[in-house]
Amino acid sequence: MYKVLIIDDQIHICRGMAEIIDWKQEGFKSVEYTTRPDKALEMMDTAVPDLIITDVCMPDTDGFSLLKQIHYRFPKLLNIVISGYNEFEYARKAIRSYSLDYLLKPINEDELLAAVRKAKTTLDFRASYPVLSEADIGAFQSALFNADEDAGMAILREKEKQILQEGLPQICRYITCEKIINVMWKFSDEMNLPISQIFNNTKEKDFLETVDIYKKLFEWIKKERLSAGSRIVNEMCRIIDEQYNRNLTIQKMAEELFVTPAYLGQVFKKKLNMPFNDYLHTVRIEKAKELLQSNILSIAQISEMIGYKTIDHFYRKFKEITGVTPKEFRESVKNP
């Protein structure tokens, strides 16, 4: 038997949901409720529920921020979101909050019961089958991140039952979650595919149908990345040209652009015929050459201004690219 906690600033809604369902018959031994989000956190410290049903539009409280706190402390806890707003962004945030369902007020008894039963099915499944390990989740997320269809399909088939039951929100609950979810929304829109078919899997869903959806997703990601290659490189060049004096790395850029460092390095070199680091140093040295034409700044000051931590590194790169030292270049400009 499981425990449920209801959170809503309107006491009559809390009581209504507590009474409208025969919770014990549905497999829940206790149902508690509170109108105060801060109280909810205190209650969870005392006894962690298996399921929470929470409003996300409460006075002085961002329900999604509350869910973020709850998920950080209790990552396996299931949640059902309720809201008085039928807006795209609210539904989008619910997906990002790993919600099992998104229900609109006034609460429909049948919809609430269906969502609760979905939660019960998931909880029962977790008791029968091991929940996906961190390694499994990381491997599947990595396959999506790298558009590696073979690896993704292998994991999907090996972990068929867990993948189907957990659904993508639980699989992608780490740092790249939001970026992956944004890709999913775009994919579902372009493919005219209900987002629920990607994010929410039920035991009735045919496994082959799910495999087919994910295969299409991997293929779509590959095409998107190919078409986006030039745009990504142009954006990288713009960032480097504007922020050459910062500690720029291909790893940081890859995270921002939702690609792997290896992929980013490949497309960059293919378009510009030089590696990322070489381009960064070339931009820095060109800027240094401009500054060296004046005696206002010392060579050490210029070195620091363009992003080098040591003057020795600056000297090495300057001579490697120009064939002369910074001092020799400055003197040649003064005495052409």
Residue 278 CA: distances (Å) to CA of 204, 268, 271, 273, 285: 54, 11, 13, 10, 10
**CATH class entry, domain 2-128:** alpha beta
pLDDT at 146 over 80: no
Tell me what percent of the residues of the chain surpass a pLDDT of 70: 75
- Mind listing the pLDDT tens digit for each residue in 208-258? 666 777 777 788 777 766 666 677 888 888 889 999 999 889 888 887 766
- 314 or 100, which is more confident? 314
**Which tokens go with 180?**
């992956």
- 175 or 45, which is more confident? 45
Closest of 118, 151, 120, 119 to residue 136, by C-alpha: 151
Highest mean pLDDT, choosing among 99-103, 263-267, 321-325: 321-325
**Which tokens go with 259?**
């690609």
Provide mean pLDDT across the span 76-96. 70
**Rounded CA separation 71/65 (Å):** 10
Domain locations in the chain? 2-128, 134-226, 278-334
Query: So what's the pLDDT on residue 232?
Result: 80
Provide mean pLDDT across the span 270-297. 91
CATH of range 278-334; options 1.10.10.10, 1.10.10.60, 3.40.50.10320, 2.40.10.170:
1.10.10.60
Query: So what's the pLDDT on residue 325?
Result: 94
Q: How many CB atoms lie within 10 A of CB 328?
A: 13
Task: Provide the pLDDT confidence category of residue 171 given band limits of 50, 70 and 90.
Answer: low
Q: Among the residues of the chain, which ranges form H helices?
A: 11-20, 37-46, 63-73, 88-96, 109-128, 134-145, 149-158, 160-171, 177-190, 195-199, 207-243, 250-257, 261-272, 276-292, 299-305, 311-322, 326-334
Query: So what's the pLDDT on residue 202?
Result: 45
**What is the SS3 assignment for 31?**
strand
